[in-house]
Amino acid sequence: MVRASASAPATVDLGDPDTFADHDLDGFWRTLRDTAPVYWNPPVGGRRGFWVLSRYDDIMAAYRDDLNLTSERGNVLVTLLGGGDAGAGRMLAVTDGHRHHELRKILQRVLSPRVLSDVAAAVRANTRRLIREAVEAGGCDFAAEIASRIPMTTISNLLGVPEQDRDYLLAQTKAALSADTEDVDETDSEMARNEILLYFMDMVEERRAAPGDDVISMLVASSIDGVPLSDEDIVLNCYSLIIGGDETSRLTMIDGVHNLAARPEQWRRLKDGEVAIDTAVDEVLRWASPTMHFGRTVVRETEMHGVRLRPGEVVTLWHASGNRDERVFDRPGEFDLGRAPNKHLAFGYGPHFCLGSYLARVEIAELLLALRDFTTGVEQTGEALRIRSNFLTGFSTLPVRLRPDPRSMKEAATQ
């Protein structure tokens, strides 16, 4: 579906998920960056208004500023405008100060490259198997049959979620954050979030009784300032890992494949080894910017571009715009797999910089490598459906045909 182009700020409400499903906002963002870098999205239908930052440098400055801005009243529009986050002060992403620092140290231990080497090897094997199977099958829905099976498997392995529960968790995760269809409303999302929390509550109980070598067992054995983490602390952080680790990586992979299908010249560069995989991964991330925004609440009055930001006001930081800022990126509207430098904001910045960035990079890199090795290209064979969300962007379905590379498929068959 071709989306209408929107450039007049007065016609755009960034709180409304339909805005993103129905409009191409490139013109709108350019107008904001040029003329209103600190823009007020007015209140709509009983929903509060909020500040919108669209320039790269301003977003970086806000991410750094944990003195005047807090994450503890939520970090996405839904919670920021909905009265706060139930995990505040306990779930890493919505905790600040000393407790954030200590909790981050605990979670960093399980998400560091050294600890994740086995997980990375499993990602590689799983991704290569899925791509080979899809090549052999002729066609597939890349979103449902491949992208859905990579991050969820990885994060489930980390957390020790049994095989038979993974489809259930995947369905709840999709309902909790993005909406694949218009039938899912905020009440369904709320219920899905509760389902995930209850699920992990049971797992924590099991691990307390019989610890294993998974992340939940490690959290059960962890303390901050001599006080063990409570069941609620552990459950909320498992929730955050599964939510943070699944949707974002999945949407990035789908967007990457969508782009490779639409831009054969970029595919060629990848296939011919003209671009380094790590460089290509960063461009896939910049382009997808799957989390369109994060946000903060003002706790001390501060100023930006002469605009006063007052305590209690909500400030949103838009990667969707910052990653296309012509003040920082050369030809920002071009998908260029060889782009360097590429200091994109897809993983945020500062004290809350994404803890799963290494894992996400591994997943995207393995996908690109498997496509390069086993196919001669990707062809989109049907319409890609957009998710409906004011936080995440991307597609929920992507029908494709993966053209086999006969030589490497034959080699793989004999291994």
Site for ligand HEM, rule CB under 6 A: 71, 75, 92-93, 104, 111, 155, 240-241, 244-245, 248-249, 252, 285, 290-291, 294, 346-348, 352, 354-356, 359-360
Q: Between residues 9 and 256, which has the closer beta carbon with respect to ligand HEM? A: 256
Q: From the CB of 83, what's the least distance to ligand HEM, in Å?
A: 18
What amino acid is encoded at 38 in this protein? V
Largest CA distance in the chain: 66
Q: From the CB of 296, what's the least distance to ligand HEM, in Å?
A: 8
Q: From the CB of 412, what's the least distance to ligand HEM, in Å?
A: 27
Nearest of 102, 94, 358, 340 to residue 222 by alpha carbon: 102
Q: Between residues 153 and 266, which has the closer beta carbon with respect to ligand HEM? A: 153
Nearest of 360, 365, 371, 369 to residue 158 by alpha carbon: 360
> For residues 212 and 233, what is the distance between their CA atoms, to the nearest angstrom?
19
Q: Between residues 31 and 148, which has the closer beta carbon with respect to ligand HEM? A: 148
Q: Between residues 287 and 374, which has the closer beta carbon with respect to ligand HEM? A: 287
What amino acid is encoded at 250 in this protein? R
Q: From the CB of 73, what's the least distance to ligand HEM, in Å?
A: 12
**Nearest residue (beta carbon) to ligand HEM:** 356
Q: From the CB of 243, what's the least distance to ligand HEM, in Å?
A: 8
Q: Between residues 6 and 103, which has the closer beta carbon with respect to ligand HEM? A: 103
Q: Tokens for 74?
A: 């939520």
Q: From the CB of 284, what's the least distance to ligand HEM, in Å?
A: 9
Q: From the CB of residue 25, how many other CB atoms can be counted at a distance below 10 Å? A: 23
Q: From the CB of 95, what's the least distance to ligand HEM, in Å?
A: 7
Q: From the CB of 80, what's the least distance to ligand HEM, in Å?
A: 11
Q: Between residues 31 and 71, which has the closer beta carbon with respect to ligand HEM? A: 71
Q: Between residues 6 and 119, which has the closer beta carbon with respect to ligand HEM? A: 119
Q: Between residues 52 and 285, which has the closer beta carbon with respect to ligand HEM? A: 285
Q: Between residues 155 and 192, which has the closer beta carbon with respect to ligand HEM? A: 155
Q: From the CB of 248, what's the least distance to ligand HEM, in Å?
A: 3
Q: Tokens for 303?
A: 């100023």
